[in-house]
Amino acid sequence: MKKISIYILAVMTIGAGCTKTYNDTINGQTPDQRVAAAITAYQKKLTGAPYGWILMESTTGVAYNQGTSQTGPKIVLAYYMSFTDSNKVTMFSDWDPTMAATPKSSSYNVKELTRPALIFDTYSYIHVPCDPDPNISHSPYGFGYGWGTDFEFSFSDSVTADQLGDTIHLTGNLNGARAVLIKATQAQRDGYYAGNVLALMGGALSLNNILEYFKRLSIGGNNYELRLDLTNRTVTFTWVDGSGKIQTQTVNYYITGSGIQFATPIVNGSQTITGISNITYNAGNSTATVTIGSQTGTITGAATPLQADATAGSRWWNYGASNGYFWASAYGFHVNGVDDAYGIRNQTDTAQGGGTYYYLAYWPAYYSNPADRLSSIMLYTNHLGFASYHWAAYPPLYPSNGTTVFQGAGDDGNAPTPSGSAFDKTRQTLFNSAGFYVVQTGEKSYDMVLATNGRTWISWFWPQ
């Protein structure tokens, strides 16, 4: 026992003799001191820009809610921001006209999380697209998700804070949205305060004053069809290339004090379009002029497309028939600049205890003969169901002019009443013998434009 005790004492003595004190200081600073210095440097960088910053945020197409993800459309947003030493930030946003016109001040913080982070810690313009309530964020992902944007960001450049230049890269901590801060010029700052973003929004909105669906842009000897989606913040250019084929490119846009900028350039041969500015609507002839680069272009309405997509109508019908479900329209027909021109959203149904309008539905090959079904989908007390009135249709025809012609086959025992109702006007327009030019607007969405004067159309989406 005595020998064991001596051995243990010897080992402890040797171990004690080998112990070294670890020094984690670098250049005389502890880790906490280095973190504090980095935070100070980041904040100094933000507040040191005399004219503020432009922050551009782009989403990945994925949004998270408590560990669950949804995929959907991407979006690009632009903000003007000016940071102060007292942790206040003043911003504009291109999200809506109010945010474009009125600066809003809130608080921010720069702190260490897993790495230094920029956090907007009180509700501000940058929080609105993140809002879990779709009534606020207009999110296409559903309740709880927002647009997949962020309001907490990690600094993601591979240099120290004091080495950052006039561009700072950020990564969202929840959704992984990408953002970049670009030091603003005096002209850019003045443009925001002068209301340039609001004016550009108004110019884009004024294109709706051109009543035709097909809006023809002529610029630099080329002709394009231009479709601006103000909800999803995309712009689509369609043109016919040198070999006679239809080319279509859809890109996200954002608005700064300098103009409407495209997240991805439109490239047509030697012509590259990176954005549009100076949109001016002329009410006298229902046209608009725009500036693209150094050139001036004109946008006019057209009754027909540059070239009809002859197979779009059959793709639409076959998809519904193959999947055994219906195409849905939320607003029915747009006519001469008026959404829901027939008031279909005001429909009610006295059947099954009463129901209110939910969708207009067209179901290809609903009947076994085969025949299609046109009906309204109503929200009843505790379920969705067909309205008590519907119409049968033969499968569409596809004439050589590239249109799609719908063929009414009569009511299936429950005719719309009274004559002249919203549903009755809808089915009469759909079965117009002139037919429709069909435009595919997304993976599962189509517009149909009545081939008379281009001023009547309906939008369909796949509700599953």
DSSP string, 108-132: -EEEESSSEEEE--S--GGGGGG-S
Residue 304 has pLDDT above 80, yes or no: yes
Q: What is the pLDDT of residue 27?
A: 57
**Higher pLDDT among residues 349 and 289, named by residue:** 289
The string of pLDDT tens digits covering residues 166-179 is 999 999 999 999 99
Residue 154 has pLDDT above 90, yes or no: yes
Q: What is the pLDDT of residue 4?
A: 44
- In angstroms, the CA 45 to CA 185 distance is 15
The string of pLDDT tens digits covering residues 40-71 is 999 999 999 999 999 999 999 999 998 899 99
Q: CB atoms < 10 A from the CB of 404, how many? A: 24
Token pair of 33 as six digits:
């001191």
Residue 17 has pLDDT above 50, yes or no: no
Token pair of 35 as six digits:
């973190």
**Higher pLDDT among residues 314 and 352, named by residue:** 314
How do the domains of the chain map onto residue ranges?
A: 31-194, 197-302, 312-461
- Tokens 């025992």 sit at which residue? 413
In the predicted model, what is the mean pLDDT of residues 122-136? 95
Question: Element (H or E) spanning 369, and its range?
Answer: none
DSSP 3-state of 253: strand
Q: Which CATH class is domain 197-302?
A: mainly beta
Question: The CATH number of 312-461 is which of 1.20.120, 2.30.30, 2.40.128, 3.30.70?
Answer: 2.40.128
Q: What is the pLDDT of residue 276?
A: 93
Residue 256 has pLDDT above 70, yes or no: yes
Look at 213-222, 384-393, 406-415, 443-452 and tell me which has the smallest mean pLDDT: 406-415
Q: What is the pLDDT of residue 416?
A: 60
Q: Do domains 197-302 and 312-461 have the same CATH topology?
A: yes
Crossing angle (nearest 10°) for helices 196-206 and 186-193:
60
Residue 191 has pLDDT above 90, yes or no: yes
Q: What is the pLDDT of residue 29?
A: 63
Residue 1 has pLDDT above 50, yes or no: no
User: pLDDT band at 13, cuts 50/70/90?
Assistant: very low
385: left (phi over 0), alpha (psi -120 to 50) or beta: beta
Residue pair 119/151 in contact (Cβ under 8 Å)? The answer is yes
Residue 3 has pLDDT above 50, yes or no: no
Look at 189-203, 225-239, 412-426 and tell me which has the smallest mean pLDDT: 412-426
Q: Per DSSP, which regions of 283-350 are E strands?
A: 287-292, 295-302, 327-329, 333-335, 348-349
User: pLDDT band at 14, cuts 50/70/90?
Assistant: very low
In the predicted model, what is the mean pLDDT of residues 416-429? 82
In the predicted model, what is the mean pLDDT of residues 333-361? 89
The percentage of the chain sitting over the pLDDT mark of 90, rounded to a whole number, equals 72
Residue 342 has pLDDT above 50, yes or no: yes
Looking at this protein, which amino acid is placed at residue 355?
Answer: G
- Residue 194 carries which DSSP code? T
User: Quick one: how many helices (H) and strands (E) in the chain?
Assistant: 8, 29
Q: Give 105-113's long-range contacts (Cβ < 8 A, gap of 24+).
A: 108/83, 110/39, 110/42, 110/43, 110/46, 111/39, 112/35, 112/38, 112/39, 113/152, 113/154, 113/173
Q: What is the pLDDT of residue 36?
A: 81
